[in-house]
Amino acid sequence: MSSSSAPSGVSNKVNVTGRGIPRKCRCGRFSVMRISNTMKNPGRLFRCCPNGSDENPNHLFKWTNISKVEEMKEVESVVDKIEREVGSLAKGLYEVEAIKEIAETCEKDIVELKGVVSSCEKEIQELRSFKNMIVCGGLVVAFVYYVIFV
Ligand SMILES: [Zn+2]
């Protein structure tokens, strides 16, 4: 992608940030683990390129404890991100619960309103039958009037 010498593969991804344990040198060779035997750093672990040497600083060299600390920091930042996301998910869940409660209240209101509507319908039907009775009574009176006076 950007580097001219690094071959494609996992190493590109690992070396993008330059953090953590380096898998490959920019020359393309896989890194190897060694133990320092210098007076300054006796027994200290490091990873380096097999092509590298004291005279050629262009190849990979990295102390393992520094790589480990960097990896720990990466992991910590990922954990922080996950914690934040879990927190916002929990908040979302709380909101969903609140909406559920509102919906349940609305359902109760709807049931009550249905009851009111059905009792109104009954009243309307009663009024209709009462009206029919009046109409029938009127017809009977009209018939009787017709029979007697016409
Ligand atoms: Zn190299």
Residue 67: inside a domain: yes
pLDDT attached to residue 8: 40
pLDDT attached to residue 54: 80
Say what the pTM is.
0.47
Domain that includes residue 48, residue range: 10-149
Counting the structural domains of the chain, the total is: 1
CA–centroid distance, residue 44 to ligand 1 (Å): 20
- Residues 27/18, Cβ–Cβ less than 8 Å: no
CA–centroid distance, residue 148 to ligand 1 (Å): 128
Q: How confident is the model at residue 53 (pLDDT cuts 50, 70, 90)?
A: confident
Which residue in 140, 19, 142, 130 sits closest to 75, CA to CA? 19
CA–centroid distance, residue 52 to ligand 1 (Å): 6
Q: How confident is the model at residue 12 (pLDDT cuts 50, 70, 90)?
A: very low
- Residues 48/62, Cβ–Cβ less than 8 Å: yes
Q: How confident is the model at residue 10 (pLDDT cuts 50, 70, 90)?
A: very low
Residue 124: inside a domain: yes
* Residue 93 predicted with pLDDT over 80: yes
pLDDT attached to residue 51: 92
CA–centroid distance, residue 28 to ligand 1 (Å): 6
CA angle 46, 52, 54 (to 5 degrees): 85
Residue 1: inside a domain: no
Question: Which residues are close to ligand 1, an ion, with C-beta < 5 A?
Answer: 25, 27, 49, 51, 59
Place of tokens 């953590």: 20
CA–centroid distance, residue 56 to ligand 1 (Å): 9
